[in-house]
Amino acid sequence: MKSHVTIALAGNPNAGKTTVFNAITGARQHIANYPGVTVEKKYGHVTHNGYKIKIVDLPGTYSLTAYSLEEIVARDYLINERPDMVVDIVDASNLDRNLYLAVQFKELGIPFIIALNMMDLAESRGIVVDHELLSTLIEVPAVPMVARANKGILELLDKIIEESKRGQEWRPAVISYGMDIDKSLEEIETIIKGYKAFDKKYPARWRALKCLEGDSQMRELLKKEPELEHKIDTIYERTSNHIMNTLEEDPEGIIADHRYGYITGITKKAVKRKIESRLNLSDKIDKFLTNRIIGPVIMITMLYAIYVFTFWASEAPVGWLETFFGGLRSLASLAIPEGNLQSLVVSGIIDGVGGVLGFLPIIMFMFFAIAFMEDSGYMARVAYMLDRVLRWFGLHGNSVMALVVSGGISGGCAVPGVLATRTLRDPKERIATLLVVPFMNCGAKLPVFALLIGAFFFRHKARMMFILTLLSWAFALFAAKIIRSTVLRGPKTPFVMELPPYRLPTLRGLLIHTWERTWHYVKKAGTIILAISILLWLMMSFPRLPHEQVKSFDDYNSNLVHSLLVSSEIKGLVENKEDLAVLNRLYESYSQSDNNEDISGKFLKNSLVKLAKTASLIRQGKTLGLTSDTRYIKAASQYLLLRDKISKSGKLEQQATLRHTIAGWIGLRLEPVTRPLGFDYRTNIALVGGFAAKEVIVSTLGTAYSLGQINPTETGSLSRRLKNDPHWNPLSAFTLIVFIILYVPCFVTLISIRRESSWAWAGFSIFFNLFVAYSVALVINQGGRALGIGQ
Amino acid sequence: MKKVIRMRQMSDNQRGVVRKISAHGEMGRRIREMGLIPGIRIQIQGRAPLRDPVAIKLRDFTLTLRNNEADHILVEVDARGHHGRKGK
């Protein structure tokens, strides 16, 4: 008797497998990948009555063939790892189709239990399942349960332990598939059993069955044994021809029909219907939600509602995070002495990582809303309604999920979006979706858009945002069409898909789903973005401006100060540099606080206070309120002139410093290429930074425009700056926005694309996207100039 | 008289019994594993806004297929007027 049991959780999609898994394991879950493939492997542990149970969550499948990645993964796991038992989660309200997988477990012979989930739903539809009779007829233990309400979980665990105590062996069941198939099946089984060299991992009868079904994985294995292959092929051909001639079917079809025949034989006895099948609630909702006219209207309204909800709900938390990182900044500035280290920590790390985490709430609420659409069953309807459109562009109805997660409603993230393409079965449709997913307006692009829209299109903020969303969809779809009719030509895959019944999602399920996706984003901030921030800081700080140049700026400044101090207007009011420093402080506090209260304190010279007040009033244009005599007004004007000169020289110095760094060098080198688009070296630096992570664009632009540190979520000042810069106009801003929508996926997305496909495709996506971005931006900018728009 | 037509030609809400599935390979397998096999009763539930794909009710769930996939499925439709509205 073992005290450790390993069980595999299997079942159809939408049968409540995840709910059962979560109910059993709670928070004690781990995620890994199945070896060699990107299908996620979730597992968890639970201790029940002294037994340690390890639960592995297999991917949801309808069958155990070798057509889709999920099915191969599930099958290989069962055969290679040989768990002690399978728990097959079955939707009791939809028993026939769910038992199709159960029959295949019987064929494989692995010990298993049926968990009859959703008994409540079945009952509400007038379907009464006699679980004891079902269990007797199918010869497998069955436990009724309602996983959503946590009913039957303990009974299921009891049953698992009870069954494992018996220590069952693998026993492939003998099911009849009709005379012709049965006969051939036995022949092949005998041949395989007599063939000693063949590995014994697979039960012989199951293997024979798979050969008759034309299973691709079995065919591959057979190729290694030409003699055996020939014998089996002969039998297969004979059977196949015979069946084709008599029944006009292939063996695979006949086998499926008999499996269903077997199931119907059982359910006819074990299932009673109180009500003749009629429209259930879900069908009634569908009449409305997928209606020809109202359906699309509701769909667009829903997507828009998600957009509104996300930004409304995340407003406060975004503010909290801003305050938090602001505090962290000041703390770091105080704790670390001024110099390289402080600059690294404050401008490099805190601003970089903080800028990314600042958007966490938006991302989280967006994923929460998407999880709601998914868990409620609505997402499947969206795929159903949009399939006809997406198909025209060479995609699949199910591509919609990946596109929406990546930012189809504005504010997603392409990394989980890339992962969402796993639901697509056809590799070509999947890769095409993968490649266009980075075109969507992910959360990281939003701050740049907000900045540029705020500066140049502030009268039409909402409309502009909406136009950008539509633009990104249009770009993504047309790019898909191009890809699918050139490099990824191929047939369309079937849209044979279940529309699961509508369900009210559980909060727990929603939270788990939201967290799984958000986690990808957080991980990105903690690792890649941290590294990139440091790297960018280095690139934008070194090499330093040569000493002589720094000195010449310093000399220039001190000359200015000196000439001010000796000038006739100021003499007697500001006597030395210390006085000037006090004046500066006073002036800045007056200008900022906007109140003219006396904040000077008694230690200060009255003349300095008066001067500072006068200067700030002049700067604010409130010259009418001036009561001071002409002496002060003259002195203040002189002082303001000095300030302007010093600030101008400071900016020149910062620009010279930036041009001298590695980043500046790169940006300048790129200028000849980007000039036709209207981008200068500072924009180039930001775009290069954005290749690492799009969040970096705004903060890099800020630094590049020598505004000192700016907070990427607080773009007010940079926005004003750009608006007044002669280099910028609405046309160049719009060109930059479109370029940012399209150009290169960010680094983490690229890594994900590689993981889901290959380096070749990841490389392709860089060049393809750059090409598209450059061409479109060129057309917009040059076309706009020619037509004289927006300049 | 028994009338066998392609599933694509069925009107909304029309019912019938599947008589033959002429799809093979992946599509045939996908159709069958979802329980759409000869002898099963189905009803057309509705169509997507662009009249494609089609949603059908079978066993106890809703399945969607594209029109070109529905072309492979022959259905013996119920006698006229038996179930109401649009059956023709």
SS (H, E, C) A97-139: HHHHHHHHHHHHCCCEEEEEECHHHHHHCCEEECHHHHHHHHC
CB-based contact B55 A94, cutoff 8 Å? no
Residues of A in contact with B32 (CB under 8 A): 252-253, 256-257
pLDDT given at position A592: 67
Sign of torsion over alpha carbons A697, A699, A705, A706: negative
Residue A254 and residue A181 in contact, taking contact as beta carbons nearer than 8 Å: yes
CB-based contact A100 B35, cutoff 8 Å? yes
Residues of chain B with pLDDT under 50: 84-88
Average pLDDT score over residue span A140-163: 93
Sign of torsion over alpha carbons A650, A656, A662, A664: positive
CA distances from A206 to A32, A64, A639 (A): 29, 11, 93
Give the strand pairing for A271-273 and A51-57. Answer: unpaired
What's the pLDDT tens digit per position in A621-630? 776 666 667 7
pLDDT given at position A547: 86
CB-based contact B66 A494, cutoff 8 Å? yes
Going by pLDDT thresholds of 50, 70 and 90, the confidence category of residue A741 is very high
Residues of A in contact with B47 (CB under 8 A): 292
Q: Would you call B35 helix, strand, or coil by DSSP?
A: coil
Least confident among A120-129, A161-170, A716-725? A716-725
Residues of A in contact with B49 (CB under 8 A): 290-293, 295-296, 385, 388
What's the angle, vertex CA A762, arms to CA A482 and CA A76, rounded to 5?
Answer: 105
Counting one residue from chain A and one from chain B, the pairs whose CB atoms sit within 8 A come to 126
Average pLDDT score over residue span A204-226: 88
Q: Would you call A223 helix, strand, or coil by DSSP?
A: coil
Going by pLDDT thresholds of 50, 70 and 90, the confidence category of residue A157 is very high
Q: At what angle do helices A179-194 and A204-212 cross, to 10 degrees?
A: 130
CB-based contact A497 B63, cutoff 8 Å? yes
Residue A396 and residue A371 in contact, taking contact as beta carbons nearer than 8 Å: no
As given in the structure block, the two tokens for residue A400 are 């919609």
**A315 CB within 8 Å of a chain B CB:** no
CB-based contact B55 A495, cutoff 8 Å? no
Average pLDDT score over residue span A206-235: 88
Q: Would you call A284 helix, strand, or coil by DSSP?
A: helix
CB-based contact B53 A282, cutoff 8 Å? no
Going by pLDDT thresholds of 50, 70 and 90, the confidence category of residue A791 is low
**A97 CB within 8 Å of a chain B CB:** yes
Mean of pLDDT over chain A: 85
Q: Measure the CA dihedral A133/A135/A136/A140, to 10°.
A: 170
Taking the C-alpha atoms of residue A72 and residue A217, their distance in angstroms, rounded to an integer, is 9
CB-based contact B65 A95, cutoff 8 Å? no
Beta-ladder partners of A412 = A442
Whether the per-residue pLDDT at A546 is higher than 60: the answer is: yes
As given in the structure block, the two tokens for residue A51 are 């037994």
Instruction: Give the type of residue at A319.
Output: G
CA distance A389 to chain B (A): 8
What's the pLDDT tens digit per position in A50-93? 899 999 999 889 999 887 778 888 999 999 999 999 999 999 99
Which of A495, A498, A502 to mutate against chain B (most B CBs within 10 Å)? A495
Residues of A in contact with B59 (CB under 8 A): 94, 96-97
HSE (side-chain half, CA atoms, 13 Å) at A3:
4
Q: Would you call B4 helix, strand, or coil by DSSP?
A: strand
**B37 CB within 8 Å of a chain A CB:** yes
What's the angle, vertex CA A778, arms to CA A776 and CA A783, rounded to 5?
Answer: 100
Q: Would you call B83 helix, strand, or coil by DSSP?
A: coil
pLDDT given at position A309: 83
CB-based contact B33 A388, cutoff 8 Å? no
The reported pTM is: 0.80
**A387 CB within 8 Å of a chain B CB:** yes
Average pLDDT score over residue span A207-236: 88
What's the pLDDT tens digit per position in A683-736? 998 898 888 778 778 877 877 665 443 344 444 567 777 887 778 889 999 999
**A125 CB within 8 Å of a chain B CB:** yes
Q: Measure the CA dihedral A376/B60/A260/A157, to 10°.
A: 50
Residue A84 and residue A10 in contact, taking contact as beta carbons nearer than 8 Å: no
Of A30-39, A185-194, A570-579, A707-716, highest mean pLDDT: A185-194
The ipTM value here is 0.91
Contacts with B, A 283-312, CB within 8 Å: 283, 286-287, 290-293, 295-296
